[in-house]
Amino acid sequence: MTAKLKINNTYYKKADNLESLNMFKGQLYETIVTTQSDESVKNAAPIGVICKDSNQIVIHLDNCVHTHLNILENGELIVNIIKDPLIFTYSTIGELDEEYFEEFNSFPMIKNTIEFFKAHVIQIREKKRENDYNEGIGHIVTCEVEDIYISEYNEIIPLNRAMNAIIESLVYYCRFDHKYKDKQDMIWIHMKELNRVCHKVGNESEKKSMKIIMDEMRENHDYLD
Ligand SMILES: Cc1cc2nc3c(=O)[nH]c(=O)nc-3n(C[C@H](O)[C@H](O)[C@H](O)COP(=O)(O)O)c2cc1C
Please name each of the domains of the chain with its CATH number. Answer: 4-151 (2.30.110.10), 162-220 (no CATH)
Query: Using one digit for the tens of pLDDT, what is the confidence trace for 160-218?
Result: 999 999 999 999 999 999 889 999 999 999 999 999 999 999 999 999 999 999 999 99
User: 5: CA distance to ligand 1 center in Å?
Assistant: 29
Burial class from Cβ neighbours inside 10 Å (0-12, 13-18, 19+) for residue 80 reads: buried
Q: Is ligand 1 within 6 A of the CB of residue 103?
A: no
pTM for this prediction: 0.96
Which residue's CA is minimally distant from atom 19 of ligand 1?
A: 64
User: 1: CA distance to ligand 1 center in Å?
Assistant: 38
Query: Using one digit for the tens of pLDDT, what is the confidence trace for 118-173?
Result: 999 999 999 877 667 767 789 999 999 999 999 988 788 899 999 999 999 999 99
Sequence-distant (6+) residues with CB within 8 A of 47 are 31, 32, 33, 59, 61, 64, 67, 79
User: 29: CA distance to ligand 1 center in Å?
Assistant: 13
User: 185: CA distance to ligand 1 center in Å?
Assistant: 22
User: 2: CA distance to ligand 1 center in Å?
Assistant: 34
φ, ψ dihedrals at 14, nearest 5°: -75, 145
Query: Using one digit for the tens of pLDDT, what is the confidence trace for 34-58?
Result: 999 999 999 999 999 999 999 999 9
Bridge partners of residue 25, in order along the sequence: none
Q: Which of 81, 92, 177, 217 to mutate to test the pocket of ligand 1 (most atoms within 8 A of CB)?
A: 92
